[in-house]
């Protein structure tokens, strides 16, 4: 098999600004490592403020022409991007695995998921509509005209290096906005590949700019302070989201924030346990558990707790751990050493407070950032892992005896991104739907991400929606004209 880095030539490991691939103005670079080995796989340009502002110059210059581009043309370019990603799935997937660590099968699934945003918003691009109607009192007409908000800044995370960028870039371009993407420093290569792909299919210069940097705070702050940026979309931690919201307030920017989660997965005694187990494995272990919508706390009703736990432990213990490019691997490497240390600390804290580990629970020796699939029981309410995102392959199981009890526990968090409920009782499912403080809910299903559905949370899990028809509205302003017509 060829080297996965062969798909991204050295000249495309630089900054994508306007019509050029360029080095950072300072000439600085930083290393990207394979988390499964800890070895450097590439050097990419390390941008500073001057580079970020150059990208904004390019996005601003391209804005008027792109906004005036016919919606059908924008749609065709998004469709071409979708097709190019699907045609090159294997190349993109191997690149994702190499820089992020997830198994190749999951990387392929991310390519399919990310590509679908381009197809979905290609279809939405030609359906942006205003309205014209008679004012209720008569005498004039009401005209509403949707317009692109302007140049957008995207700050994307490392856990889905293609899909999280696609989820932002696709609706922005469909609406007629130009973009600057600042990918995570751990995983910049996939976004650079996407920029190259969009260049190849004919997206005009300046519409998609990519700025890679290890100096994220400095570069992003400078861009947010410039009045030409009109929209910020961020996916990442609630802590960083709060900082960015404060900075965005100075220029009263439109913002979309997809922030942290602490998802409760609830298994009722009347659930189909086969369905619940399948759903719990997906909700917990998709993307190695490194997902904001991962099941963080698993609540199981007491009559089925023992059976569910035994079967879940068996399935978690059967998962194979290794390099994501190797055949048969189910669980790849975590993103970095800090992530492994954080997860290990959460497990240690829970055990010190009385929890028992049924499988896993100890980091392995050797190179790479690995942690085994882990299940804990008897986890007390004051354990830190119940209050924060675990972001890894660790599952605490807690019993419950009533719906009111488990709803109260599930809602006892600052987060409100997603929840999961397994029950065969329709009325019970509806009570959970109304009772849980979440922006999304999986009913008898462990996978809820879909480009056609509105993705987003409540409370401190975020602002706005991504995907679906609502997703394109995040990139449109509305002008209202009152037209005198007696």
pLDDT digits (tens, 9 = 90+) for 430-455: 999 999 999 999 999 999 999 999 99
Q: Are residues 61 and 82 in the same domain?
A: yes
Indicate if 329 and 190 belong to the same structural domain. Answer: no
Residue 128: φ, ψ to 5°: -80, 120
DSSP state of 36: T
The H or E element that residue 90 is part of is: helix 89-100
Burial class (CB in 10 A: 0-12, 13-18, 19+), 319: middle
3-state secondary structure of 130: coil
- How many other C-beta atoms can be found within 10 angstroms of the C-beta atom of residue 143? 14
Whole-Å CA distances, 233 to 257, 371, 403, 453 = 6, 31, 36, 18
448 in any annotated domain: no
At residue 289, φ and ψ (nearest 5 deg) are 80, 0
Q: What is the spatial distance between Cα 274 and Cα 302, in angstroms, rounded to a whole number?
A: 17
Dist. CA 257–CA 141, nearest whole Å? 36
Mean pLDDT over all residues of the chain?
Answer: 97
Residue 205 belongs to a domain with what CATH number? 3.40.605.10
| Structural domain harbouring 91 | 10-259+461-481
Please tell me the total count of domains within the chain.
Answer: 2
**Which are the contacts of 405, defined by CB distance < 8 A and separation ≥ 6?**
none
Active-site residue, selected from the candidate residues 106, 258, 290, 389: 258
Q: Are residues 160 and 114 in contact, defined by beta-carbon separation less than 8 angstroms? A: yes
Residue-level pLDDT at 486: 85
Average pLDDT estimate for 9-18? 94
Of residues 143 and 8, which shows the higher confidence score? 143
pLDDT tens, residue by residue, 275-307: 999 999 999 999 999 999 999 999 999 999 999
Shared-domain flag, residues 149 and 195: yes
pLDDT digits (tens, 9 = 90+) for 224-233: 999 999 999 9
Q: Would you give the end-to-end CA distance of the chain in angstroms?
A: 73
Does 132 or 3 have the greater pLDDT score? 132
C-alpha closest to that of 38 among 107, 104, 105, 99: 99
Q: Establish whether 405 is a catalytic residue.
A: no
Q: Is residue 354 part of a domain?
A: yes
Mean pLDDT of 344-361: 98
Residues 6+ apart with CB under 8 A from 398: 297, 298, 299, 300, 379, 386, 409
Confidence grade of residue 1 (pLDDT, cut at 50, 70, 90): very low
Where in 138-183 does DSSP place strands (E)? 140-148, 152-155, 179-182
Whose tokens are 């048969």? That residue is: 328
| pLDDT of 273 strictly over 60 | yes
Cα 176 to its chain centre, rounded Å, is 22
333 in any annotated domain: yes
In a domain, 267, yes or no: yes
Give residue 285's pLDDT: 98
- In this structure, are residues 37 and 323 in contact, taking their beta carbons and an 8 Å threshold? yes
Q: Which residues, other chains included, contact 45 with Cβ-Cβ below 8 Å and sequence gap of 6+?
A: 13, 14, 15, 22, 23, 24, 28, 29, 51, 212
**Domain shared by 248 and 304, yes or no:** no
Measured between alpha carbons, how far is residue 144 from residues 4, 125, 147 in Å? 49, 17, 10
**Cβ contact 74:93 at 8 Å:** no
pTM above 0.75, yes or no: yes
What DSSP character marks residue 32? E
Do residue 343 and residue 309 come from a single domain? yes
pLDDT per residue as tens digits for the range 104-128: 999 999 999 999 999 999 999 999 9
Beta 131-134 vs 140-148: how paired, if at all? Answer: antiparallel
Do 474 and 330 belong to one domain? no
pLDDT per position as a tens digit, 38-91: 999 999 999 999 999 999 999 999 999 999 999 999 999 999 999 999 999 999
Per-residue pLDDT band for 6 (boundaries 50, 70, 90) equals confident
Instruction: Identify the CATH number of the domain in which residue 381 sits.
Output: 3.40.309.10
364 part of a folded domain: yes
Q: Can you list the positions of beta strands (E) in 183-249? A: 208-210, 231-235
Reported confidence tier of residue 8, pLDDT bands at 50, 70, 90: confident
| Residues near 268 by beta carbon (within 8 Å), at least 6 away in sequence | 301, 421, 422, 423, 425, 428
Same domain, 157 and 295: no
Contact 77, 125 (CB under 8 A): no
Which of helix, strand or coil describes residue 118? helix
Residue 30 has pLDDT above 50, yes or no: yes
d(CA 113, CA 447) in angstroms, rounded, equals 12
What's the average model confidence in pLDDT over 257-282?
98
Map residue 321 onto helix, strand or coil: strand
1 within some domain: no
> Between these two residues, 137 and 486, which has the higher pLDDT value?
137
Yes or no: say if 80 and 249 are a contact pair by the CB < 8 Å rule.
no
Res. 406: pLDDT tops 60: yes
Is a pLDDT exceeding 60 seen at residue 100?
Answer: yes
Same domain, 120 and 38: yes
For residue 45, what are the β-bridge partners?
Answer: 29
pLDDT tens-place string over residues 148-199: 999 999 999 999 999 999 999 999 999 999 999 999 999 999 999 999 999 9
């Amino acid at each position: 098999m060829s080297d996965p880095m062969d798909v991204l030539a050295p000249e495309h490991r630089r900054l994508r600004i306007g019509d050029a691939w360029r080095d950072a103005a300072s000439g600085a670079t930083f290393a990207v490592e394979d988390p499964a080995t800890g070895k450097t796989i590439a050097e990419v340009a390390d941008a500073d403020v001057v580079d970020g502002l150059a990208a904004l110059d390019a996005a601003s210059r391209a804005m008027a022409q792109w906004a005036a581009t016919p919606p059908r043309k924008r749609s065709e370019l998004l469709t071409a991007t979708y097709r190019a990603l699907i045609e090159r799935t294997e190349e993109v997937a191997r690149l994702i695995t190499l820089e992020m660590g997830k198994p190749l099968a999951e990387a392929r699934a991310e390519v399919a998921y990310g590509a679908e945003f381009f197809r979905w918003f290609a279809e939405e691009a030609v359906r942006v509509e205003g309205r014209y109607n008679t004012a209720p009192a008569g005498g004039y007409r009401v005209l509403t005209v949707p317009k692109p908000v302007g140049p957008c800044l995207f700050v994307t995370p490392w856990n889905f290096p293609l899909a999280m960028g696609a989820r932002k870039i696709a609706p922005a371009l469909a609406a007629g906005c130009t973009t600057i993407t600042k990918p995570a420093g751990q995983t910049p290569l996939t976004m650079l590949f996407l920029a190259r792909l969009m260049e190849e299919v004919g997206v005009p210069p300046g519409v998609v700019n990519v700025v890679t940097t290890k100096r994220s705070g400095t570069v992003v702050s400078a861009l947010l302070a410039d009045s030409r940026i009109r929209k910020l979309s961020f996916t990442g931690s609630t802590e960083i989201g709060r900082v960015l919201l404060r900075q965005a307030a100075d220029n009263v920017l439109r913002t979309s924030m997809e922030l942290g989660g602490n998802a409760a997965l609830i298994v009722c005694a009347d659930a189909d346990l086969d369905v619940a187990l399948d759903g719990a494995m997906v909700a917990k272990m998709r993307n190695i558990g490194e997902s904001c919508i991962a099941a963080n706390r698993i609540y199981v009703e007491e009559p089925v707790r023992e059976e569910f736990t035994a079967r879940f432990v068996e399935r978690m213990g059967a998962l194979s751990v290794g390099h994501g490019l190797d055949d048969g691997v189910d669980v790849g490497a975590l993103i970095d050493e800090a992530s492994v240390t954080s997860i290990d600390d959460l497990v240690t804290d829970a055990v010190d407070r009385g929890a028992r580990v049924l499988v896993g629970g100890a980091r392995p020796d050797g190179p790479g950032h690995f942690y085994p699939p882990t299940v804990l029981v008897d986890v007390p309410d004051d354990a830190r892992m119940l209050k924060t995102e675990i972001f890894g392959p660790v599952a605490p199981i807690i019993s419950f005896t009533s719906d009111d009890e488990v709803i109260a526990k599930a809602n006892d968090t600052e987060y409100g991104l997603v929840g999961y409920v397994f029950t065969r009782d329709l009325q019970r499912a509806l009570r959970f739907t109304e009772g849980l403080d979440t922006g999304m809910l999986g009913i008898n299903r462990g996978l809820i991400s879909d480009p056609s559905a509105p993705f987003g949370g409540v409370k401190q899990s975020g602002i706005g929606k991504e995907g679906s028809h609502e997703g394109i509205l995040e990139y449109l302003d509305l002008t209202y004209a009152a037209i005198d017509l007696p």
